[in-house]
Amino acid sequence: MDDLETRELRYFVAVAEELHFGRAAVRLGIAQPPLSRAIGRLERRLGVRLLDRDRRGVALTDAGRVLLREAGAALDAIAAAARRTRRAGDPRRPLVLATKAGASHELLRRLLDAVADEPGAAPVEVLLCEVGEQAGLLRDGRADVALMHRPFDDLAGFDTEDLRVEGQVAILPAAHPLASRDRLTLAEVSDVPDLPIARWPRLDGSYPDGPGPEVRTQSQLAQLVALGRTLLVIPASSRAWQWPEHVAVPVVDAPDVTTVIAWPPNSRSPAVAALVRVAAGLRGAVTA
Q: Give the tens place of pLDDT for each residue, 239-271.
A: 878 899 999 999 999 999 999 999 998 778 888
**Is CATH 1.10.10.10 what the domain over 6-87 is classified as, yes or no?**
yes
Q: How far apart are CA 234 and CA 168, in angstroms?
A: 5
Residues 257, 165 contacting (CB under 8 angstroms): yes
Q: Tell me the pLDDT band of 30, cut-offs 50, 70 and 90.
A: very high
Q: Compute the radius of gyration of the chain from its Cα atoms.
A: 23
Per-residue confidence (pLDDT) for residue 2, from 0 to 100: 63
**From residue 286, how far is each of 97, 163, 171 by CA, in Å?**
19, 9, 21
Could you tell me the CATH superfamily of domain 91-166+257-280? Periplasmic binding protein-like II (3.40.190.10)
Which class does domain 168-251 fall in? Answer: alpha beta
**Range(s) for CATH 1.10.10.10 in the chain?**
6-87
203 pLDDT higher than 80: no
- Give the 3-state secondary structure of residue 89: coil
Average pLDDT, the chain: 89
**What 3-state DSSP class applies to 13?**
helix
Mean of pLDDT values over 279-284: 87
Cα separation, 10 vs 139, whole angstroms: 18
Interior/surface letters 234-258, b for 16+ CB within 10 angstroms, e for the rest: bbbbbbebbeeebbbbebeebeebb
Residues 210-220 pLDDT 10s: 889 999 888 89
pLDDT in tens, 47-87: 999 999 887 789 999 999 999 988 888 888 787 777 777 66
User: Which residues neighbour 231 within 8 Å (Cβ) at sequence distance 6 or greater?
Assistant: 170, 171, 172, 173, 176, 178, 189, 192, 195, 196, 197, 198, 225
Please report the pLDDT score of residue 205 as a whole number.
73
DSSP three-state, residue 99 = strand
pLDDT of residue 172: 95
Report the 10 Å Cβ neighbour count for 272: 19
Q: What percent of the chain has pLDDT over 70?
A: 94
Band (pLDDT 50/70/90 cuts) for residue 36 is: very high
Rounded to an integer, the average pLDDT of 21-47 is 92
Instruction: Enumerate the CATH 3.40.190.10 domain ranges in the chain, comma separated.
Output: 91-166+257-280, 168-251
CB-count exposure of residue 274 (10 Å: 0-12, 13-18, 19+): middle
